[in-house]
Structure 1
Amino acid sequence: MKNTQLALIILLIAIITACNGKVKKIGTPKKPNILFIMSDDHTSQAIGAYGSRLAKLNPTPNIDRIANEGMLFENAFCTNAICTPSRATIITGQYSQANGVLDLDGHLPASKQYLPQEMQKIGYETAVIGKWHLKDQPNAFDYYKVFYNQGEYFNPVMYEKGSTDSVYNYKVHRAKGTFAGKRYEGHSSDIVTDASLNWLQNKRDKSKPFMLLHHFKAPHDMFEFAPRYSNYLEDVEIPEPASLYDNQNNGSVATRGYNNSLIDTIGSSVGHRNVIRNMGMHMDIDQSLPENEYKKLAYQEYLKRYLRCVKGVDDNVKRIFDYLEKEGLMDNTIIVYTGDQGFMLGEHDYIDKRWMYEEAMRMPFMVRYPKKIEAGSRTNAIVNNADYAPTILELAGAETPEYMQGHSFAHILETGEEPDGWQQATYYRYWMHMAHRHNNPAHFGIRTKDYKLIMFYGANYDSRFANWQAEGKKKRPVPAIKTPVAWEFYDLKSDPNEMDNRYNNPEYGPIIKELKQQLTAKRKELNEEDNNYPQLKEIIDAHWNDM
């Protein structure tokens, strides 16, 4: 009987094969697409899902969807809060001394554009669209359409891989001639999204999974928003941080100077404090107003312009989501949203980024992938932007190459738990001492879940860096000054807003000693010991045990 049944089964299979021509094979699981959305200077305070003082304004309903349907990282940090080095770290999975991009003059040749190279090895088609800001063309990508340098907010020029379009006397180059690229009419947030949607719909190889890096220029200064947002928040009072008016015991002689002698110079401000660069100057606020009135008006205008740019980003994120849903791609696409660093929105009376303080160092980071990530989950695991490339690679099915210094946190995304031995601290380094009229002193440090230790070493690594001061209608270079060396220590458990530098509090002596040991080990591990910069090494060694 059994033989008869077996014969019938074989006969049935043969008949099906004859009718269909062949037996259908079971396919391998489809690799997920990767959509990595990054805005410029979009800080976590300006994202509703982070629950900051601005959350009640509901600034980012579409971006919040990624967190609501995926995982939000509470402790994602950059390793250097400035555009070019942060972007290089994301692409290479390496810290600045390893990848060679220390500052805004750094460049990343195609040979070091590691993330697209590794993704191509496992069958992905790769593209980057929008802000690139790494000098060399992104030739390691299969496709690119990017701005020169920062790009313009309105009617930007973009150059595209394989295109023969050209423009004349392009102002970014401050030179006459012909340059590759084409000018597009409209606001940059809309234009970048148009370009990404065009690539997704018309240009990519749809037989392959894709990795698209979609990079907005907004909300980078000077916060030029699309005209349709001119009335957004017009009659709203934007909540202010308490430290805008009273910075208490934040900082040190490194950020204020001895007897506050540099308080009008270090760290660009919202109000009158910084006489070289403050937001009231940019917002055309009457300079003769009393300080608190001037500061309040400058802050309100600053935040409204900033949030109008954010609104444009959020609306364009929805356009991409609409396309993915229409094409049935939404749930097989790993969607990441981040900024290239944080940004100071008046905290401590600071604007811009660069600082190791929380608002500049923290990156917004959230990931949606319903096949593996629980909706509405959050984690306080410490990750940084050197970890992004390894994580993307593992989620796509590849291993982290040995040359990458970051570590994949795919396990955290998939389980919500930190794996055994996961990093409990992150390292930070800002190199550009007193540069670009923001005048931030060079510094480095370590941050754990509970504490932060910063060393301001007060000197330039490279004599090329100089400030620029007005001299009539021209600008002249002025070598960056040395500033006082100092340590700062913050107990983030009791002082999350970093209002009290407790470095000289003897109660914290044992903790600070332990943090210095961790910092020493971390600098050695990451090749951050300044062996190529003996002038810095001498200062750091001389002041390591200062109290």
Structure 2
Amino acid sequence: MKNLSILVVLMLLLTVSCTTKKTSITKPNIIYIMSDDHCAQAIGAYKMRLAELNPTPTIDRIAKEGILFQNAFCTNAICTPSRASILTGQYSQTNGVMDLSGRIGADKQYLPKELKKLGYETAMVGKWHLKEAPEAFDYYNVLPGQGDYHNPTLYARTGNSLSTIRFEEDLVRDVYATKYEGHSSDVITNLSIDWLKNKRDKSKPFFLMHHFKAPHDFFEYADRYNNYLEDTFIPEPESMWDNKNNGSLATRGINDCWIDTIGSSIGHRNVIRNMGMHMEIDPTIPDPEYKHLAYQEYLKRYLRCVKGVDDNVSRLFQYLEENDLMDNTIIIYTGDQGFMLGEHDYIDKRWMYEESMRMPFLVRYPEKIKAGTSTDAIINNVDFAPTIIDLAGGKTPEYMQGDSFKQILFSGKEPEAWKQATYYRYWMHMAHKHNNPAHFGIRTKQYKLIFFYGRDYKARNTAAQKWAHNPESMSDFETIPAWEFYDLANDPHEMNNLYGNETFKDVIADLKIQLKDMRASINEEDGNYPAIQQIIDAHWND
């Protein structure tokens, strides 16, 4: 009888042990794949004007086998602030990263810290762009700053020798840096696969942030894509040739006096920075031929970088499939913001216009997400960290400002009282010769309201950014404050600024109330910037 009792106890202990082990290994792995400046219009699954070129068959597979978000937005369309919001679950003024000079130390690298509490092995590979090393991750191997396209150097926690790298004027560090041969998209994928295969703790679920440098400018693609799309005509956006009633005094100036300066262009319109200069098109060729040549070359280089990203996502998928990891891994694909591919005759990002503000966001997890799902629910990049934590079995920390949309992922439907609007703010002003005025605004499913207040939030050394109009005057940097309003339901390409139209008087008034309340609730007011607040107060009721 005694022996039987001992046997029963042993069997119970074995059962508990097996159950515990099963629970730990059935937690989903999570791979967060992000490309730099990869916009929705350059992903086939979004069925926009470039879809006919079939630019992303592998990324499209995520949408086919998972869910696609039509209304995913960034809160600040510039690399460093967007990445900071993704990592912290906070808006720019709360996490302290408003522009490209911002940095996130290990104490604020909240997402990996929270996932490690939940038992995850964490890794960060590729473009980091947050200055301080990603020390909160168990493993990292990242580009210093922007990094190189070809034969890139990456730095890690350990290595054979230290190298001195300047990350900012006031931030110089000795790091373990290694130079790798090949194109950055290939190298970053090699490193991620190597970590998955050889370096991680395989007794734990993993969280991998796999970040490509591509297709960030200046669009240096791998040599094997030299002939890709060579003889193909790339569809051109109508607004590149005729911008109609897009914009305002803030973006065009009185009698269009600033259109040669504000917003870098494809063709000759902008005399300071245009894509023809970057593509080395003969400047003596007049528009429209100069613009056409610049656009075609620009898009081919951009899409060749995208092709390299898609092919490397395929390599990553192949590894997961060959090692029985594909279906127990939540796969997320996104960009760090959108990008202007000639729309409104603009390049780069920064704008609150759709192509810049919208982020592609696709998720595959066959155990919980129905294949072929699409949703128009509004999410933004502040929501990413809370959602990933929720998917990992945790709860959103109180210090995060975003909301988990796990329920939308699993059901395809918005929960009751889900947000119906999102906030945006571009804090920089007339920077890097792209010359975008500072602005903020609100975007609902139907409408968009933007206020261009036209002043930088801090004093800078702007000597390199003086205007061609009056290079001796710093006051020229205070552009004209103005409002823009778009009825997206009837004007999805934002070709007709209807601010001041009596038909929408009540709609605009309501949006201003929502915008004011939203700014207060997410700590995006301007109490710390009285000069900006003065402009807001003076023009709120224009």
The bucket for the TM-score relative to the shorter chain is over 0.9
Residue 260 of structure 1: aligned partner: 256
Partner of residue 91, structure 1:
87
What SS class does the counterpart of residue 74 from structure 1 fall into? Answer: strand
Cα–Cα, structure 1 residues 133 and 22, in superposed 2: closer, same or farther, change >3 Å?
closer
Query: Residues of 2 paired with 1:165 and 1:38: CA distance?
Result: 29
Q: Does residue 512 of structure 2 align to residue 516 of structure 1?
A: yes
Contact 1:170 1:179 in 2 (8 A): no
> Where do 1:436-455 residues align within 5 Å?
436-455=432-451
Q: How many residues align?
A: 534
Q: Distance in 1 between matches of 2:451 and 2:165?
A: 44
2:342 to 325, 333, 346: 346
3-state SS of 1:66 partner? helix
Asked if the contact 2:38–2:306 (Cα under 8 Å) also holds between the matched residues in 1, the reply is yes
Tell me which stretches of 4 or more aligned residues in structure 1 moved more than 6 Å.
Answer: 10-13, 15-18, 168-178, 475-480
Note the 1:168-179 alignment, pairs <5 A.
none
User: Which residue identity is paired with 1:240?
Assistant: E
Q: What does residue 412 of structure 2 align with?
A: 416
User: What are the ranges of 5 or more consecutive residues in structure 1 without an aligned counterpart?
Assistant: 1-6
Distance 2:191 2:462 in 1: 37
Query: What's the CA shift for 1:162?
Result: 2.1
Provide closer, same or farther for how the CA distance between residues 465 and 435 of structure 1 changes in structure 2, counting only shifts above 3 A: farther
Q: Name the counterpart of 1:320.
A: 316
Q: Which residue of 2 aligns with 1:203?
A: 199
* Aligned counterparts of 2:14 and 2:157: Cα–Cα separation in 1: 42
Q: Measure, in 1, the Cα distance between the counterparts of 2:13 and 2:393.
A: 33
Give the direction of change, closer, same or farther, for the CA distance of 1:480–1:129 in structure 2 (3 Å limit): farther
Amino acid at match of 2:135: N
Q: Specify the alignment match of 2:40 in structure 1.
A: 44
User: Is 1:336–1:368's contact at 8 Å kept on the other side of the alignment?
Assistant: yes
Residue-by-residue CA offset, 1:468-492 (whole Å, 9 max, x unaligned): 2599xxx999787111100000000
The answer on whether the counterparts of 1:463 and 1:479 sit within 8 Å (CA) in structure 2 is no
Matched with 2:267 is 271
**Alpha-carbon distance in 1 for matches of 2:83, 2:473:** 27
Alignment match, 1:3 = none
- 1:281-305: CA deviation from partner (whole Å, max 9, x where unpaired): 1111111112111100000000000
Matched-pair identity in %? 64
Letter matched to residue 297 of structure 1: L
Instruction: Give the direction of change, closer, same or farther, for the CA distance of 1:14–1:362 in structure 2 (3 Å limit).
Output: same
Unaligned stretches of 5+ residues in structure 2: none
Letter in 1 for 2:106: A
Cα distance between partner residues in 1 of 2:532 and 2:406? 37
Q: Say whether residues 1:486 and 2:488 are aligned partners.
A: no
Shift in CA distance, 529/178, structure 1 to aligned 2, threshold 3 Å:
closer
CA distance in 1, matches of 2:180, 2:208: 21
* Counterpart selection for 2:527 from 531, 536, 546: 531
Letter of the 1:191 counterpart: V
Quick one: which amino acid aligns to residue 210 of structure 1? F
Q: Pick from 19, 23, 35 the counterpart of residue 28 of structure 1.
A: 23
- 1:465-519 per-position Cα deviation (integer Å, ceiling 9, x unaligned): 6262599xxx999787111100000000000000000002110000000000000
Alpha-carbon shift at residue 541 of structure 1 (Å): 0.8
Alignment of 1:114-133 (within 5 A): 114-133=110-129
1:237 lines up with 2:233 in the alignment: yes
Query: Does the 8 A contact of 1:434 with 1:480 survive in 2?
Result: no
After TM superposition, the score normalised by the length of structure 1 is 0.93
1:382 aligns with 2:365: no
- TM-aligned CA distance change 1:171 to 1:374, over 3 Å: closer
Q: Which residue of 2 aligns with 1:4?
A: none
Q: CA 1:174/1:479 → structure 2, altered by over 3 Å: closer, same or farther?
A: farther
SS in 1 for 2:441: strand
Residue-by-residue CA offset, 1:367-412 (whole Å, 9 max, x unaligned)? 0000100001000000000000000000110000000000000000
In structure 2, relative to structure 1, the CA distance for the partners of 1:238 and 1:103 (3 Å cut) is same
1:247 to 243, 250, 268: 243
Secondary structure at 1:291 match in 2: coil
- Specify the code of the residue in structure 1 equivalent to 2:154: M
Give, in whole Å, the separation in 1 of the partners of 2:463 and 2:48: 34
Aligned partners of 2:495, 2:75: CA distance in 1, in Å?
A: 22
When residues 527 and 469 of structure 1 are mapped into structure 2, their CA distance, relative to the original with a 3 A threshold, is closer
Please tell me whether the aligned partners of residues 166 and 182 of structure 1 are also in contact (alpha carbons under 8 angstroms): no
Q: Confirm or deny that 1:74 pairs with 2:44.
A: no
- Distance (Å, rounded) in 1 between the aligned partners of 2:386 and 2:311: 30
Q: 2:119 & 2:299 partners in 1: Cα distance?
A: 43
Contact 1:435 1:467 in 2 (8 A): no
1:232/1:476 Cα in 2 relative to 1: closer, same or farther (>3 Å)?
Answer: farther
Contact 1:437/1:467 (8 A) holds in 2: no
**Root mean square deviation of aligned Cα:** 2.6
What is the CA–CA distance in structure 2 between the aligned matches of 1:176 and 1:320, rounded to whole Å?
34
1:269 offset after TM fit, Å? 0.3
Shift of 1:165: 2.9
Q: What corresponds to 1:185 in structure 2?
A: 181
**Residue type of the alignment partner of 2:133:** Q
**Cα deviation per residue 1:228-285 (whole Å; 9 max; x = unaligned)?**
0000000000001000100000000100111111110000000100000000011111
Larger radius of gyration: 1
CA distance in 2, matches of 1:275, 1:327: 53
Helix, strand or coil at the partner of 2:288: helix
SS of the residue corresponding to residue 180 of structure 1 reads strand
Aligned to 1:223: 219
